[in-house]
Amino acid sequence: MSTRTSAGGATSTSERLVEATRELLWERGYVGTSPKAIQQAAGAGQGSMYHHFAGKPDLALAAIRRTADEMRAGAERVLGGQGTAYARIEAYLLRERDVLRGCPVGRLTMDPDVIASDELRAPVDETLDWLRGRLAGIAQEGLDAGEFDRPLSAEEIASTVVATVQGGYVLARASGSAAAFDTAVRGLLALLAPRTRS
């Protein structure tokens, strides 16, 4: 089913419901995202919501999957680019983010209702696993090319990159300033920077 009408470009009801749920999950978490709040944010009635989705868990799963897919696509646009392994990791770390809002996928790991549900947690786990794996592949390229000569494995580099980004979000939100995120990223880049050979 198309999500946009051909004439005016207006989004379909199901699309509006998914997008509203994504925003509410990011801001309020699962418990704070009530069906009524979703309907109000989407401009949809109860009948429309239950016509398209079996209920809140079904809609939340669609929203989480969409968020996870977008996170993967955004990361891949940077990680799949040209350049050395370090340059691609640097581009990933420095890419534009809404730091003070936090990571829409990472924040779901702190939502007890999402973590308690195997179905809702699966897209979160899969996305973070994919990201670590993608970064590990790039880090291994860098290790093989002699870019990284520290005693770290590709998996350790990948996990450190993900932990720095996710931890940077937490520090920035706690301080109310993106500077904490930027400091963490600059520190990691300095540690990973290829050494100049004499």
Residue 3 has pLDDT above 70, yes or no: no
Residue 7, in any domain of the structure: no
Q: Kindly give, in sequence order, each residue whose CB lies less than 8 Å from that of residue 85, ignoring residues fewer than 6 positions away.
A: 138, 139, 141, 142, 145, 147, 148
Residue 2, in any domain of the structure: no
Residue 5, in any domain of the structure: no
| Residues spanned by the domain of 99 | 13-192
- The model's pLDDT over 87-124, given as tens digits with 9 standing for 90+, comes to 999 999 999 999 999 999 998 998 999 999 999 999 99
Residue 50, in any domain of the structure: yes
- The model's pLDDT over 124-161, given as tens digits with 9 standing for 90+, comes to 999 999 999 999 999 999 999 999 877 889 999 999 99
Residue 80, in any domain of the structure: yes
Q: What is the pLDDT of residue 184?
A: 96
C-beta separation of 54 from 31 below 8 A: no
Residue 74, in any domain of the structure: yes
In the chain, the number of structural domains is 1
CATH number at residue 55: 1.10.357.10
DSSP, collapsed to helix, strand or coil, labels residue 11 as strand
The whole-model pTM stands at 0.86
How high does pLDDT run on average in the chain? 89
Residue 6, in any domain of the structure: no
Mean pLDDT across the stretch 10-32? Answer: 89
